[in-house]
A and B are shown apart, each in its own frame.
Chain A
Amino acid sequence: MRCGNVFARVAAYLVLSGMALVFLIPVAMMVSGSLKPDHLVLPEAGRLANVVPAKPTLDNYRDVFARVPFARYMANSIFITGTIVFCGLLVNSLAGYALSRLHWRGRKAVLTGVIALIILPLEAIAVPLFYEVTLFGWRNTYLVQIVPFIANAFSVYLFYTFFLELPEELEEAARIDGARPMRIFFSIVVPNSQPVFAAVAILTFLTQWGSFLWPLMVTHSESVRPLPLGIALFYTLPPLQWGDIFAFGVMMVLPVLAVFLLFQRWFVQGVASTGMKG
Chain B
Amino acid sequence: MAAVEFRNVSKRFAAGTEAVRNLNLAIDDGELVVLVGPSGCGKSTVLRLLAGLEEPSAGEILLDGKVVNRISPRQRNIAMVFQNYALYPHMTVRDNLAFPLRMRRTPRETVARKIADIAGILDLRELLDRRPGQLSGGQKQRVAMGRALVRNPSVFLLDEPLSNLDAKLRAQIRADISSLQKRLARTTLYVTHDQVEAMTLGDRIAVMERGELHQVGTPAELYRRPRSIFVARFIGNPGMNIFSASVLRDKDGTWRLRTGNWDIPLPPEKLPRGGSPEALRSIRAGLRPESFGSAPEEGTVPCAVRATATEFLGHETLVYFHIPGAQVATPLAARLPGHMTLPEPAAELHIHPSALYLFGGDGILLQ
Classify A-B as touching or not with yes or no (CB < 8 A). yes
Are B74 and A172 in contact (CB-based, < 8 A)?
no
Asked if B51 is at the interface of the complex by the 8 Å CB criterion, the answer is yes
Q: Number of A residues whose C-beta is below 8 Å from B?
A: 16
Task: Contacts A177-B103, A178-B103, A179-B74 given; indicate if A172 touches B86 (C-beta within 8 A).
Answer: yes
Do residues B88 and A176 form an inter-chain contact, with CB atoms below 8 A? Answer: no
- For residue B82, CB closer than 8 A to chain A, the reply is yes
Report how many residues on chain B are interfacial, defined by Cβ distance under 8 Å.
21
Residues of B within 8 A of A167 (CB): 84
- Residues of chain A with a CB closer than 8 A to B73's CB: 172, 175-176
Partner of A176, one of B51, B89, B90, B104: B51
A192:B86 contact, CB within 8 angstroms: no
CA distance A174 to B89 in the complex (A): 12
Chain A residues with CB under 8 Å of B74's CB are: 175-180
Check if A172 sits within 8 Å of B104, measured CB to CB: no
Q: Which residue of A lies closest to B78 (CB)?
A: A176
B135 to chain A, nearest CB (A): 16
A179-B86 in contact (CB<8A): no
Interface residues of B in 99-128 (CB under 8 A from A): 99-100, 103-104
- In the complex, are the beta carbons of A183 and B103 less than 8 A apart? yes
> Which chain A positions have C-beta within 8 A of B52?
175-176
Residues of B within 8 A of A174 (CB): 88, 99, 103
What residues on A are CB-neighbors of B86 within 8 Å? Answer: 169-170, 172-173
B185 interface residue (CB < 8 Å to A): no
Q: Are B79 and A176 in contact (CB under 8 A)?
A: yes
CA–CA, A176 to B99, complex, Å? 11
Contacts of A251 in B (CB 8 A): none
Measured between beta carbons, the chain A residues less than 8 angstroms from B84 are 167, 169
Q: Are A172 and B82 in contact (CB under 8 A)?
A: yes
Is B53 engaged at the interface, CB distance under 8 Å to the other chain? yes
Q: Do B99 and A177 touch across chains, with their CB atoms under 8 A apart?
A: yes
Which residues in A have their C-beta under 8 angstroms from that of B79? 176
- Cα of A176 to Cα of B80 in the assembled complex, Å: 7
- Evaluate whether A173 and B82 lie within 8 angstroms (CB atoms) in the complex, with A188-B88, A192-B89 already known: yes
Residue B204 at the A interface, CB < 8 A? no
Cβ–Cβ < 8 Å partners of A128 in chain B? none
Q: A-B pairs with CB below 8 Å: how many?
A: 54
B147 contacts across to A, CB distance below 8 A: 173, 177
B103 to A, closest residue via Cβ: A178
Tell me which residues across on chain B come within 8 A of A183, comparing CB atoms.
103
Q: Is the CB of B82 within 8 A of A169?
A: yes
1/0 per residue B84-97: CB within 8 Å of A? Answer: 10101110000000
For the complex, what is the distance from the CA of A26 to the CA of B86, rounded to whole Å? 52
Cβ–Cβ < 8 Å partners of A177 in chain B: 74, 99-100, 103, 147, 151
Task: Name B103's contact: one of A169, A170, A179 (CB within 8 Å).
Answer: A179
Residue of A nearest to B75 (CB): A178
Shortest beta-carbon distance, A185 to chain B, in Å?
13
Chain A, residues 159-189, CB within 8 Å of chain B (1/0): the string is 0000000010110111111111001000010
Find residues 56-82 in chain B having any chain A CB closer than 8 Å to their own CB.
Answer: 72-74, 78-80, 82
| Contact among B80, B82, B90 for A192, CB-based, below 8 A | B90
Closest 5 CB pairs of A and B: A178-B103, A177-B100, A169-B86, A178-B74, A173-B86
B binding-site residues for A, Cβ under 8 Å: 51-53, 72-74, 78-80, 82, 84, 86, 88-90, 99-100, 103-104, 147, 151
What are 25 A-B contacts defined by CB distance under 8 Å?
A: A167-B84, A169-B84, A172-B51, A172-B80, A173-B86, A173-B88, A173-B147, A174-B99, A174-B103, A175-B52, A175-B73, A175-B74, A176-B52, A176-B53, A176-B73, A176-B78, A176-B80, A177-B74, A177-B100, A177-B103, A177-B147, A178-B103, A178-B104, A183-B103, A192-B89
Given contacts A173-B80, A173-B82, 13 further A-B contacts (CB under 8 A): A169-B82, A170-B86, A172-B82, A172-B86, A174-B88, A174-B99, A175-B52, A176-B100, A177-B100, A177-B103, A178-B74, A179-B99, A183-B103
